[in-house]
Amino acid sequence: MKTRPSAHRAKSPRTAVKSTAARRTTQQSSRSGKYAAIRRDLQQQRRAILEEAGEGLTNQKGQETFPDVSDQASAEADQNFSMRIRERERRLLKKIDEALDRMDKNLYGICERCEEEIPFPRLKARPVTTLCINCKTLQEQEEKIRR
């Protein structure tokens, strides 16, 4: 009588296949993976803005008629305020979309003025930026002179 190796002990081939697959995934994502966390942040911010915009529209419908004049006035003030907010959000939304677009084209994180790579901490702090800190400072100085 001879003992044969137990069938459920031969697991090593499957483990080998799995680790190869895992390695391939890491390789594929390593190029875009550099900004994966920032991309997630941007997408989250984008969703939040859109959700809030949706809520704003619902509120607006309830503000159509006011029997009291002072209520009407404050409602208009509220509306002006929310319109200003919306304008700012719309602009931010555009910047977020552009940043995500640059990620897709592998252009993200490159200063559009000097074409140097923007340092990661700056991108993390201000993900929608298209300028490195030097060029941003220069641009701000130029704007001051123009005014």
Chain residues in the site for Zn ion (CB under 5 A):
111, 113-114, 132, 135
Closest approach of Zn ion to the CB of residue 40, in Å: 25
Closest approach of Zn ion to the CB of residue 27, in Å: 30
Neighbour tally for 78: CB within 10 Å? 13
CB nearer to Zn ion: give 48 or 114.
114
Closest approach of Zn ion to the CB of residue 100, in Å: 21
CB nearer to Zn ion: give 55 or 112.
112
Let me know if 61 is exposed, middle or buried by CB neighbors in 10 A (0-12, 13-18, 19+).
exposed
CB nearer to Zn ion: give 33 or 119.
119
Amino acid at 86: R
